[in-house]
């Protein structure tokens, strides 16, 4: 994490950087980059992806970790039992599992809605930056 001149936090990871516009300028990436727990499901599946969309997925993972103190899942694929709950639209079970051992209403409904949408299995269903900024939890 870095701070800019206004002390705003910037999250960076230069070790796994690739061009946002893709290597061929098409806006589509095919590079397999990222840390396993932060990689969007389309990267795990070795499918072409848009960098901004997978970065916002990783941001959802970071937000969950910062709030809960632990990762939401090990890997965003169907073999991971926690992520499978999100991918199969069983987010209530996902949140119920993560609520064990935490204070009642530790995860409020707005937080759950935001993170669930950021971690959606389908890239086109994930929130954009304007959607995230306008979200009630923010």
* Domain layout of the chain by residue ranges: 36-134
**For residue 88, what pLDDT band results from cuts at 50, 70 and 90?**
very high
Question: pTM here?
Answer: 0.86
**For residue 8, what pLDDT band results from cuts at 50, 70 and 90?**
confident
- Cα angle value 63/11/60 (rounded, 5°): 25
Lowest-confidence segment of 26-35, 68-77, 83-92, 116-125 by average pLDDT: 26-35
- CB atoms closer than 10 angstroms to residue 95: 19
Any idea which architecture 36-134 has in CATH?
Answer: Orthogonal Bundle (1.10)
State the pLDDT at residue 97: 96
**For residue 3, what pLDDT band results from cuts at 50, 70 and 90?**
confident
User: Both ends of the chain: CA-CA distance in Å?
Assistant: 20
């Amino acid at each position: 994490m870095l701070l800019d001149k206004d002390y705003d936090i910037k999250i960076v990871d230069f070790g796994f950087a690739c061009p946002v516009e893709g290597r061929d300028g098409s806006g589509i990436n095919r590079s397999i980059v990222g840390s396993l727990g932060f990689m969007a499901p389309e990267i795990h599946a070795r499918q072409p992806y848009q960098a901004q969309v997978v970065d916002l997925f990783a941001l959802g993972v970071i937000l969950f970790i910062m709030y809960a103190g632990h990762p939401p899942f090990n890997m965003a694929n169907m073999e991971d039992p926690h992520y499978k709950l999100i991918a199969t639209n069983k987010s209530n079970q996902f949140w119920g599992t993560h609520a064990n051992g935490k204070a009642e209403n530790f995860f409020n409904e707005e937080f759950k809605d935001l993170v669930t949408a950021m971690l959606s299995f389908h890239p086109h269903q994930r929130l954009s930056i304007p959607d995230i900024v306008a979200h009630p939890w923010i």
